[in-house]
A and B are shown apart, each in its own frame.
Chain A
Amino acid sequence: MNLIDLYVHEVTRLLPEKNREDIALELQSTIQDMLPDNPTEDEIKAALSKLGDPAKLAGQYRDIPRYLIGPALYDHYLTILKMTFPIVLAVVLITQVLTNIINYAGEATIIEMILALSFSIVGAAFNVGVQTLFWITLVFFVLERSGAVKESFPQSTIGAPWKPEDLKYLSSIPKKKAISKSQVLFSLIWTAVWAGVYFNAVNIIAVYERDSTSGFNYVTPIFNEETLLSFWPFVCLLIAIEIALAIFKWVLGQWTPRLAVINAFYNAVYILVFIFLASSSNLFNPSFVDYQVQLFNSTADDVMNVVNGAVWTSIVIAIIISVLDSYEGFKKARISLTKLFNK
């Protein structure tokens, strides 16, 4: 085969079957037109380099966009990705933490458990992240190629064209007043974590001894399981309020006076339950107290004094945090857009 045939073949090879022959014939005759009657090889080469890279020429003939997602859809693609990723990752986080806590039977040390949990979170997050990216990209790619969106409107209008009236539906919430979805998700995760810890306290919150051969050894639980779990109706109430509050926050998307009141109520309930639980007489496991007595060579009374001191400190800290949180709620509820403008 001579150079011309090779060139034409190289171009048409990349084209759809139905146009191939016609384009090949036209290219042949065009190249012949460009050349004198008995061309030298140099003349042929010059003509072919005028036509340029066969792959590029074939690309022009094919007229298929050389991108996955065009300008009309790109903004929407990014928006969907940004919206989906935090949700998906939060779901992964919640499910991983929950399954790990539920399946925890106390056979592994707490550090081993945290390590395993981090590994499984990273693994699952990567897996799910790649899947999410792939499927969303695929859907947008199909949308792009199906021609559902007109190429001639690059300014991202899917559906009705933009009108000034559309502004009314936009939120004009000041940033400090707004409650982001990630904040809500985070508080839901937090609820799941502490609830999981509460119901498995005997297995998780315990004294561990360091051993040179087998790492950490479970010695004795700190809390008295019966006392701790006797509070379950109140704890369930607290969980229910927390979840309701999270849903309310999610729906509202901003702090309002009513939300601030509910938030303060939740904090009050939380403090009450916490104080009752922390001050109940049989909260601590007797064997934990014995262990401390042996460890520090002291009396049971001394140990109980230290423990009670810790309990009261934590109660005071919890009260301070709750008061601050309630106050913040009211403060945020008072922020208004007009005030910001008048400043």
Chain B
Amino acid sequence: MSDLLSSLTTELRRGTLTLAVLSQLQTPQYGYSLVQLLEKSGIVIDQSTLYPLLRRLEKQKLVTSSWDTTESRPRKYYVLSDFGTELFLQLKQEWEKTSLELQQLLEGEKKNELD
């Protein structure tokens, strides 16, 4: 039973992952700083998922990357492209709409239970 729950939870979260990552890339971030930012907000993301995801976003031209070699070790920074920003805002709207709808749906269910 808990296996099923965890697999459903993972599935539920998977779709939101891209949105979470995009939201944090409005300012340039490198891999590990992004992990820390997300973890601070309580979003757990498998690191073996995150790094490949960043590359995929770059391939889809949503983010651009650049190597910063000025510090002690070279780091690859990712930041939203113009296209990425545009898409992020649209996706954000979609999410807000969906979560509002779902909230109403779930609250309606609660009311029914009280009746």
**A200 to B33, alpha carbons, bound, how many Å?**
86
Q: Which residue of A lies closest to B72 (CB)?
A: A32
Is A29's beta carbon under 8 Å from chain B? yes
Report yes or no: B74 in contact with A25, Cβ–Cβ below 8 A. Answer: yes
Residues of A within 8 A of B46 (CB): 52
10 A-B residue pairs with CB within 8 Å: A25-B67, A26-B51, A29-B30, A29-B75, A30-B30, A33-B30, A33-B31, A57-B52, A60-B49, A63-B52
The interface size bin for chain B is 10 to 19
Q: Is B14 an interface residue (CB 8 A)?
A: no
CA distance in complex: A19, B65 (Å): 14
In the complex, whether B56 has a CB less than 8 A from a CB of chain A is yes
The reply to whether the CB of A61 lies closer than 8 angstroms to some CB of chain B is: yes
Binding site for A on B (CB under 8 A): 30-33, 46-49, 51-52, 55-56, 67, 73-76
Q: Is residue A68 within 8 Å, beta carbon to beta carbon, of the partner chain?
A: no
B73–A60 touching, CB < 8 Å:
no
Contact status B56-A33, CB under 8 Å: no
* A44 lies within 8 A of chain B by Cβ: no
Size category, A interface? 20 to 34
From B30, B32, B52, give the contact of A60 (CB < 8 A).
B52
A238 within 8 A of B: no
In angstroms, Cα B77 to Cα A33, docked, is 13
Q: How far is the CB of A72 from chain B (nearest CB, A)?
A: 20
Instruction: Decide: A61 and B55 in contact? CB cutoff 8 A.
Output: yes
4 tightest Cβ-Cβ pairs between the two chains A and B: A33-B32, A60-B52, A52-B48, A30-B31
Q: Mark A2-34, 1 if CB is under 8 A from B, else 0.
A: 000000000000000001001101110110111
- Closest residue of chain B to A57 (Cβ to Cβ) is B48
Bound together, the chains give a CA A50 to CA B48 distance in angstroms of: 8
A321 near B: Cβ within 8 Å? no
Residue of A nearest to B75 (CB): A29
Decide: B30 and A56 in contact? CB cutoff 8 A: no
Q: Closest CB of chain B to A56's CB: distance in Å?
A: 6
Enumerate chain B residues within 8 angstroms of A33, measured Cβ to Cβ. Answer: 30-33, 75
Whether A51 contacts B48 by the Cβ 8 Å rule is yes
Write the nearest CB–CB distance from B33 to chain A, whole angstroms: 8
A29 close to B76 (CB less than 8 A):
yes
Measured between alpha carbons, how far is A30 from B81 in the docked complex, in Å? 22
Partner of A61, one of B33, B52, B75: B52
Measured between beta carbons, the chain B residues less than 8 angstroms from A23 are 55
Of all chain B residues, the one with the shortest Cβ separation from A34 is B32
Q: Given A51-B48, A61-B55, A63-B52, is A32 in contact with B76 using a C-beta cutoff of 8 Å?
A: no
